[in-house]
Amino acid sequence: MDRGLYIAASGMLAEQVRQDQLANDLSNATTPGYKADRATQASFGDLLLADRTSGRVIGPLGTGVRITGQVTDLRPAALKQTDEPLDLAIEGEGFFLVRTPQGERFTRNGRFTALPDGTLGDQLGNQVLGPDRRPVRLQPDGTVRAQDVGAFNVPNAVKAGEGQFTGAAAGAAPGTVRTGALETSGVEAARTMVDMMASLRAFEAGQRAITTIDETLKQAAQQVGNLTG
């Protein structure tokens, strides 16, 4: 029964990690260019049970589950026309490049703005860079030309927070930059809500299993204590 407690607890911990990831996805369901995450789970090695008396094999026993990693779905999402001159989107594969205090970072969020020095910047005030890795300067009328904004191919992009990614650029991206449009969030809100409810039910199932095992152990201890010699 003690092993059952560990198995149930491991499942609850795995679902807790999954719920945190799903909650973060839901909070970014309207964030332009956001990419959803997927938590991957795997079971620990099984134990092969056998009858000690006869040696007859009873069968395998699982020893719990664990989170093996988190995978980001980097597939391009649909574009939404906004007609805002400083809204940009990459149609297809690729990332924008921004210069941050932590170094160069990549993003798919093209909701840009004009910085005081006449260059293009993101919502955090970081300069957007062109194909030559220099800041993109705005046109005299306050607009920006699509060809002045860089779109870089980043094969192994890793999330770094605030809608940014780290990685090594491998030349120009196959995608093209569009002005007056934004990429929608990669989160499917309805599907994510269904996944959240399924994860919550799995978590509650682990709680019930632990409660049942605890009550069984309590009853066993009471019965042993009531035995008379």
With cut-offs at 50, 70 and 90, classify the pLDDT of residue 65.
confident
Question: What's the mean pLDDT in 150-162?
Answer: 93
Of the candidate ranges 87-96, 123-132, 180-189, 201-210, the one whose mean pLDDT is the lowest:
201-210
CA distance 133 to 104: 10
CA angle 85, 89, 90 (to 5 degrees): 140
Quick check: 95 pLDDT over 90? yes
Residue 147 DSSP code: G
Helix H or strand E segment including 65:
strand 65-72
CA distance 149 to 136: 6
Q: Which amino acid is at 56?
A: R
pLDDT of residue 69: 76
Report phi then psi at 180, rounded to 5: 70, 25
Q: Which amino acid is at 112?
A: F
Percentage of residues of the chain with pLDDT beyond 90 = 60
Residues contacting residue 7 through CB under 8 Å, at least 6 positions apart: 62, 63, 64
List of E strands, 101-157: 103-107, 113-114, 120-121, 127-128
pLDDT of residue 229: 55
For the entire predicted model, the pTM comes to: 0.77
Question: Which is higher by pLDDT, 13 or 113?
Answer: 113
* CB contact at 8 A, 150 and 104: no
pLDDT of residue 11: 80
